[in-house]
Amino acid sequence: MKHFTFFAAMLFVWQTTISNPLWTRVLDQQSFNKSYPADMALVHDSLIMVTGYTESFGCSTNRLFAFDTQGELMWDKGTMEKYNMGGNFDLVHARDGFIYTAGFLYADDTYYGTEPVVISKLQTDGNIEYHTQYRGDEWTEYYMFSPVSMDVDPTGKLMLAGGEAPDFNSVVMVDANGDIVWEKEYEFAIEQVLFLNDERFLIRSNDNLYVANMDGEILDTYSSDNPVVDIIVHNSWVYLLSASGLEKADPDFETVVVLLEDELADLERIKVFDDSLWIMGKENNQIVMINPEAAKENSHLYFEEYVENVDFVVVGNQIVFSGTSLSGQIGLYAFPSGEQDDVAYPWPDIELLDFEISNIVINYQDFGGETIATSFDFDASLTIRNNGEEPVHALSVFSPRSGGTNCAKQFFYENYNGLDIMPGGEFILDVGSSNEYAPPTSSNELCFEILAPNSSLEFNTGTNSLCKSFFITHASDYSQQELLVYPNPVKDLLFISALDGTTYGYTITDVAGRVMVQAEHEGLTAGVDVSLLAPGVYFLQVIEHNKMYSSKFIKE
């Protein structure tokens, strides 16, 4: 194992603060609800590629989106399988005008070991060059291959790293035609893979860097005093980013030069755009962009962090950030990479003052000859005020729902256009019929949220949502008995009190409708072990004597 030999190179920095974006966008098409991005790339300085998960309140789908340099959506691609819940587009990479994607396809709820890793090559218009499905019938049952890193060399060969969390210990090599060359498993967890040249590639783990030949055999191991968080190869140098600095090394790691050290920012990513290095970090709740090769007055730029899970590309004179917006949508916004004027960006500011429901209709189902109320439909109207400085002509309305099974859409989501809400003005929006999948009870909580006025990123979301409880009086034949579920929130053991001490069945589902626990119990009180459930909201359904009772609880 080699240790780095360091040579210092001084770099003087000058801090510049930029306050206002050039433009902002969110993905708010009516076919999606809450969403979040997974990866980001730039094609030919003209297409900004973003992969993301959508419909996160049902069984989520994963899509690939192409935006122009002003954030306008040009096209998007979805997975071909009808019931896909995960995606073909977990990772995206751009090389020589082509788009490469990789992802694990959840084809059958991951129950049968038939889900493949999907590797694709696309043209800039979204047409597919190849679409490879790998090992769809060879995984062990319940195995889930999660891609974590991908690289493409100048010849079009592709290398993919991943595996089953948390042990991402596999590398898959793909030739220029999309055919699998080999797959290897290693004895260490892999965080990143990268072509070093046409004979070797790099593997980054938590502790070390490994150099391997094109057959996947480890040739050498290198370690650094500063844990490496990201690496790139540029102009025959290997750049190693740590949380506090940047070093570059020759391909044999005989000489390592320190370019940055003792940075105040927590550095996270390094990329190359237009033959220039860019580093992204975080400092005091701001994004820090560093161009280590720039003149000293432009080397450090500071931007507001308006999204979570930030990624970036540099397009001409713009730095474009993507992430999860404050309203829970895929969001993008751009800053100039140099100086800008003092014109303030017109941030939207919408407030949901009130909402009402009417025309309630109870839905019933037959359980063994007895009719039970299981859900209800209603009409809703929302009173909205525009607190911003620009008219609002479009917005989206989101409302979570409970219940449902499998991939039921457990939400209300609609985009409304053609509005004219002037600054300071109020507007009543009739959103039409909606529904609640839970049985009507004496107190039904409903929540609505206003999203993305004018399809712009929201800065102030503190007043755009509202929850209210409604008393439904005309469900006279809904047999209501008290169902005791405790403690709530729960950490390890959830208790369900029997209604009359006889046998009853119970089912616990997550917010996506997936069944997490299903069993029968005989006696007064059932103690259900929920310690293995992930923290979050869950729904309990109890069926006794053909009557169904519902409750909601929180797992800590």
More confident residue, 500 or 464: 464
CB count within 10 Å of CB 236 equals 9
More confident residue, 491 or 26: 26
For strand 6-8 and strand 256-260, is the pairing parallel, antiparallel, or unpaired? Answer: parallel
Alpha carbon distance 87, 440 (integer Å)? 35
Alpha carbon distance 188, 206 (integer Å)? 9
Give the whole-number percent of the chain exceeding pLDDT 90: 49
Cα 144 from chain centroid (whole Å): 18
Enter the tokens of residue 516: 């997490």
Q: What is the pLDDT of residue 552?
A: 78
2-336 maps to which CATH number? Answer: 2.120.10.30
Give the whole-number percent of the chain exceeding pLDDT 70: 81
Q: What is the pLDDT of residue 184?
A: 95
**Contact of 310 with 303, CB cutoff 8 Å:** no
Using one digit for the tens of pLDDT, what is the confidence trace for 257-270? 999 999 999 999 99
The mean per-residue pLDDT over the stretch 439-457 comes to: 84
Say if residue 100's pLDDT is above 60. yes
Q: What is the pLDDT of residue 273?
A: 94
**Contact of 170 with 187, CB cutoff 8 Å:** no
Q: What is the pLDDT of residue 280?
A: 96
Enter the tokens of residue 44: 């030919």
Domain-wise residue ranges, the chain: 2-336, 350-470, 485-555
The mean per-residue pLDDT over the stretch 191-199 comes to: 95
Residue partners of 528: CB distance under 8 A and separation at least 6: 493, 494, 495, 496, 506, 508, 517, 519
Alpha carbon distance 12, 16 (integer Å)? 13
Enter the tokens of residue 115: 């889900």
More confident residue, 20 or 430: 430
Question: What band does 127 get if pLDDT is binned at 50, 70 and 90?
Answer: very high
Which residue's structure tokens are 């950030």? 321
b or e along 10-29 (b: 16 or more beta carbons within 10 Å of the residue's beta carbon)? ebeeeeeebebbbbbbbbbe
Among 120-124, 363-367, 544-548, the minimum mean pLDDT is found in 544-548
Say if residue 478's pLDDT is above 50. no
Residue partners of 255: CB distance under 8 A and separation at least 6: 5, 7, 249
Enter the tokens of residue 328: 């829970």
DSSP tag of 483: -
Using one digit for the tens of pLDDT, what is the confidence trace for 325-336? 999 999 999 998
Q: What is the pLDDT of residue 522?
A: 79
Q: What is the pLDDT of residue 166?
A: 81
Say if residue 482's pLDDT is above 60. no
Q: Taking phi first (over 0 means left), then psi (-120 to 50 degrees means alpha), and beta for anything else, what does residue 110 get?
A: left
Q: What is the pLDDT of residue 12?
A: 39
**Contact of 350 with 453, CB cutoff 8 Å:** yes
* Domain 485-555 CATH class label: mainly beta
Say if residue 444's pLDDT is above 50. yes
Alpha carbon distance 233, 272 (integer Å)? 9
Is the bond into 489 cis (omega within 30 degrees of 0)?
yes
Say if residue 122's pLDDT is above 90. yes
**Distances, alpha carbon 210 to alpha carbons 115, 166, 544, in Å:** 30, 19, 60
Question: Sheet of 266-273: strands edge to edge?
Answer: 15-17, 300-304, 286-290, 276-283, 266-273
More confident residue, 513 or 69: 69
Which range in 58-62, 74-78, 346-350 is most confidently predicted, on average pLDDT?
346-350
Residue partners of 217: CB distance under 8 A and separation at least 6: none
**Contact of 69 with 318, CB cutoff 8 Å:** yes
Strand partners, 365: 372
Q: What is the pLDDT of residue 337?
A: 79
Q: What is the pLDDT of residue 136?
A: 63
Say if residue 468's pLDDT is above 70. yes
The mean per-residue pLDDT over the stretch 91-120 comes to: 80
**Contact of 347 with 459, CB cutoff 8 Å:** yes
Alpha carbon distance 62, 79 (integer Å)? 7
Using one digit for the tens of pLDDT, what is the confidence trace for 525-544? 788 899 888 888 888 877 76
Q: What is the pLDDT of residue 512?
A: 64
Alpha carbon distance 462, 84 (integer Å)? 34
Enter the tokens of residue 439: 């049985």
**Contact of 426 with 387, CB cutoff 8 Å:** no
Among 228-242, 386-400, 505-519, the minimum mean pLDDT is found in 505-519
b or e along 77-97 (b: 16 or more beta carbons within 10 Å of the residue's beta carbon)? bebeeeebbbbbbbbbbbbee
- Which stretch of DSSP H or E encloses residue 542? strand 536-544
* 3-state percent breakdown (helix, strand, coil) of the chain, nearest 5: 0, 55, 45
More confident residue, 448 or 471: 448
Say if residue 475's pLDDT is above 50. no
Say if residue 410's pLDDT is above 70. yes
Say if residue 157's pLDDT is above 80. yes
Among 66-70, 77-81, 317-321, the minimum mean pLDDT is found in 77-81
Pick the CATH number of 350-470 from 2.60.40.10, 3.40.630.30, 1.10.10.10, 2.40.40.20: 2.60.40.10
Alpha carbon distance 307, 19 (integer Å)? 15
Say if residue 26's pLDDT is above 80. yes
Which residue's structure tokens are 């140098």? 237
The residue type at 231: I
Q: Rounded mean pLDDT of the chain?
A: 84
Using one digit for the tens of pLDDT, what is the confidence trace for 286-309? 999 998 876 555 578 899 999 999
Using one digit for the tens of pLDDT, what is the confidence trace for 200-253? 999 999 889 999 999 999 999 998 888 999 999 999 999 999 999 999 999 999
Question: What band does 418 get if pLDDT is binned at 50, 70 and 90?
Answer: very high
CB count within 10 Å of CB 464 equals 24
Cα 331 from chain centroid (whole Å): 11
Among 270-274, 283-287, 545-549, the minimum mean pLDDT is found in 545-549
Using one digit for the tens of pLDDT, what is the confidence trace for 27-64? 988 777 888 899 999 998 889 999 988 877 666 678 89
Say if residue 514's pLDDT is above 60. yes
Question: What band does 277 get if pLDDT is binned at 50, 70 and 90?
Answer: very high
Alpha carbon distance 361, 273 (integer Å)? 57
Q: What is the pLDDT of residue 134?
A: 84
Alpha carbon distance 12, 295 (integer Å)? 9
Q: What is the pLDDT of residue 5?
A: 46
Say if residue 107's pLDDT is above 80. no
The mean per-residue pLDDT over the stretch 510-518 comes to: 78
Q: What is the pLDDT of residue 13?
A: 42
Alpha carbon distance 499, 85 (integer Å)? 37
For Cα atoms 506, 370, 434, give the angle at the middle one, nearest 5 degrees.
Answer: 75
Enter the tokens of residue 385: 């005020």
Fold agreement between 350-470 and 485-555? yes
**Contact of 311 with 41, CB cutoff 8 Å:** no
CB count within 10 Å of CB 146 equals 15
Enter the tokens of residue 65: 């989106």
Say if residue 105's pLDDT is above 80. no
DSSP tag of 439: P
Q: What is the pLDDT of residue 480?
A: 42
Say if residue 405's pLDDT is above 70. no
